[in-house]
Amino acid sequence: MIEIKNVIKRFENGVEVLGGISVQIPERKRTVLFGPSGCGKTTLLRILAGLETATAGEISFPASYKISFMFQRDSLFDPVCVFENIAYGIDQRTLCRDRLTKRVHSLAALVGVESILMQKTESLSGGQRQRVSLARALMKEPDLLLIDEGFNSLDRKTKNELIDKLIQLQEEKKFTLLYVTHDIQEARRIGQNFIEFKKEEATD
Ligand SMILES: Nc1ncnc2c1ncn2[C@@H]1O[C@H](COP(=O)(O)OP(=O)(O)OP(=O)(O)O)[C@@H](O)[C@H]1O
C-alpha cells in the first residue's frame, strides 16, 4: 500500500494545494485519480516521482520502488532518435546491448513505433511522442507508473488501443499504476480503484 498522509504543498508564490489529503493507493492495481482542475493532481504525482517535495505530511512506499512517469509535457530529448529516447536512463552496465536492443524493439512494437526507431523525436507528431514516452516509462520496468493525462494527443480509437496495451502489460507485470485523467471513458476503461479529490482541496 502506498500511504499518503496529510500532504500539503505550498509553492514559493504562496499557492497552497492538496489541503492535507490522506489517501491509500493499493499496490499492483490500476488507480485513477480525478478532481477539479488546479486541485493538485499533477503536484501529487510530481511529489511521488521525487520532482517536488511536500511541504507537510508523509508519503510512504517501499524504498526499493522503481518509479517511472509520463507527464502531459513530455521530456523526450529531441536531438537523438526514438531508440535512444526509449533506452534513455537504462544503465547499460546492468543490461547488455543485445538485451537492451531486444527490449526497446519489443516495447516499440507494443506501442506502435517500431518503424520509426531511427527517427529523431523532433520530427514526431504529438501522438507519436506520447507512444515513445510510454515505451520509455515502461523500459525501466517500474514498480510504480505515474501517468498524467498521458494520451491526450491521440484520437479515441488509438487511445483505446494504447490503453488496452497498457492494461495488458499491467496485468502481466503487476506494477502499480496511478493515472490522472478528466476523461470519464478512459477512467472507466483503466480503473480498478478510483480516488476523487474534493473541491475543498482546490484553490481555484
Ligand atoms: N511550480 C509552481 N509554482 C507555483 N504554483 C504552482 C506550481 N505548480 C503548480 N502550481 C499551482 O498549483 C495548483 C495545482 O496545480 P496542478 O497542476 O497540480 O493541478 P491539477 O489538479 O493537476 O490541474 P489540471 O487538472 O488542470 O492539470 C495550480 O493553481 C497551479 O497553478
**pLDDT tens over the chain, length 204 residues:** 999 999 999 999 999 999 999 999 999 999 999 888 888 999 999 999 999 999 999 999 988 899 999 998 888 999 999 999 999 878 766 778 888 999 999 999 999 999 999 999 999 998 899 999 999 999 999 999 999 998 888 888 889 988 998 999 999 999 999 999 988 889 999 999 999 987 554 444
Q: What is the pLDDT of residue 90?
A: 80
Q: What is the pLDDT of residue 204?
A: 46
Do 129 and 113 form a contact (C-beta atoms < 8 A)?
no
Do 41 and 1 form a contact (C-beta atoms < 8 A)?
no
Q: What is the pLDDT of residue 202?
A: 46
Name the residue at shortest CA distance from atom 7 of ligand 1: 11
Residue 38 Cβ inside 6 Å of ligand 1? The answer reads yes
Residue 15 Cβ inside 6 Å of ligand 1? The answer reads yes
Name the residue at shortest CA distance from atom 24 of ligand 1: 37
What whole-number distance in Å separates Cα of residue 14 and Cα of residue 10? 6
Do 201 and 38 form a contact (C-beta atoms < 8 A)?
no
Query: Which grid cell is 51?
Result: 520532482
**Is ipTM > 0.90 here?**
yes
Residue 181 Cβ inside 6 Å of ligand 1? The answer reads no
Task: Give the Å distance between the CA of 42 and the centre of ligand 1.
Answer: 7
- Grid cell 484520437 in the structure block, residue: 155
Query: Which grid cell is 154?
Result: 491521440
Task: Give the Å distance between the CA of 43 and the centre of ligand 1.
Answer: 6
